[in-house]
Amino acid sequence: MPSDTTKPQASLIIAFYNNPDILDLTLAGLRRQTTRDFEIIIADDGSEERVTDYLKRLISRSDFILKHVWQEDQGFRKNRILNKAVLNADSEYLIFIDGDCIPHREFIQEHLSNRRPGFCLTGRRVNLSENILRRLSPELIERGYLETLWPCLVFDSLFGSSRDVEKGLYIRSVLLRRMLNHKQRGILGCNFSLYKSDLLAINGFDERYQRPSIGEDSDVEFRLGLSGIRVKSLNHMAVQYHLYHKPSERPQENLDLFSVVRAERKAYTPYGIMQEDGKNRKK
């Protein structure tokens, strides 16, 4: 853990809403990380009082640098709370995950080791089945259960409901990493990182997206590209395990808005951190 007088190497921002039991699994994965030089910011899109009280107790006894950024529940406003979390980040490097994703023990270190100016990094995730989710506990995750579950995951992908299990294979070979990551891949909103200055240059996340999907990854990737930022894949490096839930649809409203953004070809959104009235989003 960094000292009180130094900034952490990374700010890990977790998008969260009303599910502390799942968050406990994510935090168990973070306690296994091979580096502890990071802070955690829980970007809370309006969880109810019983959950926020739980988070206050969690923060009081945590051995992490752990922050809770909250906004009132007015429907899905993930991009708005992510922007608020960015303003609360003490590090110059940001890593984004969702509160239903468990990181491999090398997750933070891989993002940090591969960071480069002018690049945004993105990893991939295994989609665990409901059957696997029911087996999990914070204690099992802290003991490395998911990282030794490969044969079971392969079986569950063939005869159950786990998907993309091949993306859970962590590879150390530099040669294999190069071979497997030569292909261009898009940003995954629950597994990407970049310098804060690069995100601020495009004014953060566009808050007009008020339904899941596109706004927190495809839109950001497009606008970063216009500003000269390239995407680098960390497939089989920044590994993540996504916990089962019913899949979300790609709403037409988001698709229509993204079509407008692509037609306008403007990297900077006036609907992000710096508002149209010239004021920053309040912390």
What pLDDT does residue 1 have?
Answer: 44
What pLDDT does residue 276 have?
Answer: 63
What pLDDT does residue 249 have?
Answer: 75
What pLDDT does residue 18 have?
Answer: 96
| Structural domain contains residue 46 | yes
* Domain span at 65: 10-264
What pLDDT does residue 277 have?
Answer: 57
Residue 251's φ and ψ, nearest 5 degrees, are: -65, 145
| Structural domain contains residue 200 | yes
| Structural domain contains residue 270 | no
Q: What is the CATH number of the domain that holds 98?
A: 3.90.550.10
Lookup result for tokens 């809370």: 44
Q: Which residues of the chain have pLDDT under 50?
A: 1-4
Q: What is the mean pLDDT of the chain?
A: 93
| Structural domain contains residue 279 | no
What pLDDT does residue 275 have?
Answer: 78
Instruction: Give me the number of domains the chain comprises.
Output: 1
What pLDDT does residue 2 have?
Answer: 46
| Structural domain contains residue 259 | yes
| Structural domain contains residue 190 | yes
What pLDDT does residue 3 have?
Answer: 44
| Entry pTM | 0.94
What is the bridge-based pairing of β-strands 101-103 and 191-195? unpaired
| Structural domain contains residue 120 | yes
CA distance 164 to 187: 16
CA distance 47 to 238: 28
